Amino acid sequence: MSHYQVEGNDPCDWTDWESAGKTRGGPCGRAAGSWERYEEDAEAAAALGANAFRFSVSWSRVEPRRGEFDEAALERYARLVVRLDALGLEPVVTLLHYTHPRWFHDETPWTSTASVDAFGRFSARTARALGPKARCWTVLNEPLVLVLGGYLDGQVPPGIASARDAARALDHLLAAHEAAAAEIRAAIPGAAIGVAHNMMGFAPERARNPFDRALVRVAGRFYNQALLDAFGEGRWSAYLPPFTRLAGRRPGLPASLDFFGVNYYSRLHLRFLGDGGRIGSFAYRDPHGRGLTDNGWEVVPEAFPPLLRQAASLGKPLFVTENGLADAADTKRAAFLEAHVGVLQAAEVEGLPVHGYLHWSLVDNYEWLDGWEPRFGLLE
C-alpha cells in the first residue's frame, strides 16, 4: 500500500494537484480510509496468509511545516508497526512514495542539495519513531518514475519539464537514499535497506524491424538498467532520445543498499518514428489474446524472468516489491497470480535470489492520475 492511495485527506502536493484539475481521476478524498483503519487492513492481510505488509509514511503528515514534526502522526505509524509485528507481518516501510509536503518544492526542491538534508532529517525522525520492529525499508518508491513524470514530462507534481532539472532531481534522490540509509542504520542496527524500482518489459512493435529493436535496447538501458548501474557501480548514464541524458556519480550508493526491489507489471511495444513525428511511440498490445487489464496493460508473465535475471546481476537479494493488475470483475486475477508466482518458483529453481513477493495491492485504492477506476485490490 502507499499512504496517499489509501489513507485519505493527505495534506500534500498531490491533493493540490488534484484540486487544480490536473488529474483524470477526480479527487482522492478519504481514499480507503486507512488512516483510521490500518489495523483492519493488517488483520485482513494476515487472514489472507501474508507474512509481510508494505506501507509508506506520509512525509506531509509527519512534517507538515519544514522542521516541525508531528509526534502524533509518527505515533500513528509506530502503532501500526506494533500491530503488524503482533500479527506476524514483517513491516516493509517506504519513505517516499511520490508525494511531498506542501513546503517541499518551494523550500527544498529535489533540484537543490537542500532536499537531501531535508529527507535525511525526515528519515531519521521516522526511523527513531518506528524503532527496531521496522527492519525492512524500501526507502524510495520508483525514483525514476517520479523523475520522468515530475521533472521530464510535467504530468505529476511538481510538474516540471526540463532535462536539466530531471538529471539533478535523480542525483539528489539517490543522494537522499544514501542519507536515509545512514540514518536508518544508525537508529535501527540490522535494518535492511532497499529500493523499489519499476521494471518494464519492452518488445519491438515489428519483430524484425532493426529500428524498433534498437529502440527496445535504448529503452531497456534507460528505464531498467540505469538504476541498477547506480546501485551496483555508484554511477549511471541514461540516454533517452533525442536529447535527454541523466548521468551522475554517487560512489557511496552501492554500500547503502542491502536488497533490490522489483516492481513488475507489464510490457510496452515500441515503434520507431511514432505519431506526430516523435522519435518513437509505445503502446500496450495483446499478442497472446489474454485480454488487457482494466487499465489497458498487457498480461505478460513471460517478460518477468529476464527482468529478474537483470536485477539479480546486481548481486544483492531481490524482493518483488509490487506486482498485480487492475481487474474489477476478478476474471483475470487468479490466472495472473498463478502465472507470476510460477515465475518466482522457476526463478528459485534457477537460483535467483528472490526472497519475497509483495502483491499490489491488498485493497482497492486511488490510482494516481487514473483515480478510482482501476481496481488493484485483492479486497474490494
- Residues lying near ligand FCB in the complex (CB under 6 A): 2, 5, 141-142, 145, 198, 263, 322, 360, 367-368, 376
Nearer to ligand FCB, 126 or 263 (CB): 263
- Phi, psi dihedrals of residue 213, rounded to the nearest 5°: -70, -35
Nearer to ligand FCB, 119 or 368 (CB): 368
Nearer to ligand FCB, 272 or 376 (CB): 376
Query: Residue with the closest Cβ to ligand FCB?
Result: 2
Cβ at position 77, least distance to ligand FCB in Å: 18
Cβ at position 4, least distance to ligand FCB in Å: 8
Nearer to ligand FCB, 23 or 198 (CB): 198
Pairing verdict, β 244-249 and 235-240: antiparallel
Tell how far CA 58 is from the center of its chain: 14
Nearer to ligand FCB, 213 or 375 (CB): 375
Cβ at position 361, least distance to ligand FCB in Å: 7
Cβ at position 356, least distance to ligand FCB in Å: 17
Give the Cα separation of 182 and 176 in Å (integer): 10
Give the Cα separation of 357 and 350 in Å (integer): 17
Cβ at position 367, least distance to ligand FCB in Å: 5
Nearer to ligand FCB, 1 or 127 (CB): 1
Cβ at position 152, least distance to ligand FCB in Å: 16
